[in-house]
Amino acid sequence: MSGEPAVEAVLQTLRGRGHRITMPRRAVIDALSRAEGHPTVEQITADIAERWPGIHLTTVYRTLETLAEVGVVTHVHLASGTAYHLADSAGGMPAHVHAQCRTCHRVIDLPDDVLDDVRRRLDRSAGFRLDPHHVALSGLCRDCAEPEVEDS
């Protein structure tokens, strides 16, 4: 879901949980609903500046933090910084795990269950409960891992 239906779904969720709808919250939710991929706070702020002048970077940071605490926004720590998107529960992307190519920095969305075996093993062997949604796995994407073959 993207655009206005996603915005309304998130606003409805916030209201239902007793949260106020402020201009910065609406602006951040609107920017995330239209964003492609995994925008950083700087990209979100730049988008907001065009449509909602007067909302500063610090306000965007605080708003993203609040929306993440409420559960309508999720974040992932990438090599380039923290990126955000609307949570599945708020009409955003379904829950998923991230991988990032260390060469080209492309972010790849992986199925949510891709690390289920690792989660179970860590829980059994170390009593550790893995939450892989907030960090990206690091490696090489297909394009960067395969050397180019020259035509003869």
Binding-site sequence positions for Zn(2+): 101, 104, 141, 144
| Annotated binding-site ranges | 101, 104, 133, 141, 144
> Hey, CA dihedral for 85, 69, 60, 5, is it positive or negative?
positive
At 12, is the secondary structure helix, strand, or coil? helix
> Hey, CA dihedral for 148, 98, 79, 25, is it positive or negative?
positive
| Annotated binding-site ranges for Fe cation | 133
Between CA 2 and CA 147 the distance in angstroms is: 37
Close Cβ partners of 71 (under 8 Å, ≥ 6 residues apart): 87, 89, 90
Q: By the 8 A CB rule, do 24 and 59 touch?
A: yes
In angstroms, the first-to-last Cα distance of the chain is 46
